[in-house]
Every structure is written in C-alpha cells, then in structure tokens.
Amino acid sequence: MSHLLKYREQLNLTQEQLATKANISVRTIQRIEAGKELKGHTLEALSKALEIPKEKLVAVDFEKKEDSISLVKLINISSLFLIILPFGSIIFPIIIMYWKKAFNPITKQIITIQILWTFLFPLVVLLGVFIGKTVNLNNHMVPILILLMLFINAYIIIRNTIELDKKKKLFINLKFNIL
C-alpha cells in the first residue's frame, strides 16, 4: 500500500480533497498511489497538506517485505566488486537496482556512498603519495594505503549489511543523495 494512500485514508480525505489542499492534480495523486516515486515539489506540497514529515511519505516499508530487505542487502554486498573491478562498487549495484526495479531511498543511498567513495579513493591515495614524497617515506606506503582504503570500504559495506539485517536501515547514512 502506498504511504500517501495510507495517510490520506487516515485523514478521511478523497483524492480530490487532497489535490485541492496540496494544490496539485488528482491525476498526480493517482499516479503516486499507484506506485510512482514521490519527490520534489509534489513531495513538499503533500507533506505540508498532510502535515507529516517528508520522510514518512517516501519511507520504504521493509517489515512487510522481507524479500525487499534481502534485495537491498544484495545490492549493498554487490558493492564489494570494487575489489575485482575498479568501478564495480557502482556498476554492479546499479545493474541490480535497475534490473530488479529497486528504486528506493536506501538503494540510492548505498550507491551514493559508493560513488562518493570512488571519488575519494584516488584523492586519498594521491594525497598519500604527495605526503610520502614530502616526508621521504618509502614507496611501500602506497600499496599499504590502497589496501587500507579497500578494507575501510569493505567494512562500510559489511557494517551496513549487518545493520540492514538488524534494524532495516543503513549504519553509515549520508544526509544527501546523488541519484
């Protein structure tokens, strides 16, 4: 059941009444209740009209869908392909997300974390090389730094998977989303 439908029915509002109150079209409400993703201006307008936080309208209800949490965990674990393929931590989760049509805030957050990590990884390594050259450290520091970065990313992925299993949310969660 759509979160919008649930909150609209709790307030005993028809689609027409909610559309008037939120200043959006009835057709938009019908699409959202049928499963279309809620975002942007429409999310803001409906949140104000229903007087509830935006997060409650876009929340994913994993308690009722155990297979959904398993899919999210699979998407998260697939980020470990970074060890085999340089952009594997982004490519494989995106492929699974599109293939299974698992577009939700948690899967988008997983991919955002990996995109951010993929850009930070070379910056940290280059900074390590620069600092190593500046203070005359030996050349063995670069492979050690690369391994350390891979272990940290693996820790993030595994820790998020454990938290998804226990509390149905991510342990490491950013305040923004790239997707």
Low-confidence residues of the chain: pLDDT under 50: 62-64
Q: What is the per-residue pLDDT for 64?
A: 44
Statement: the pTM of the whole predicted model exceeds 0.95: no
Start-end ranges of CATH 1.10.260.40 in the chain? 3-58
3-58 homologous superfamily: lambda repressor-like DNA-binding domains (1.10.260.40)
User: What is the pLDDT at residue 158?
Assistant: 92
Determine the 3-state secondary structure of 63 from DSSP: coil
- pLDDT at site 7: 86
pLDDT score for 59: 67
Q: What does the alpha-carbon distance between residue 111 and residue 92 come to, in Å, rounded to a whole number?
A: 10
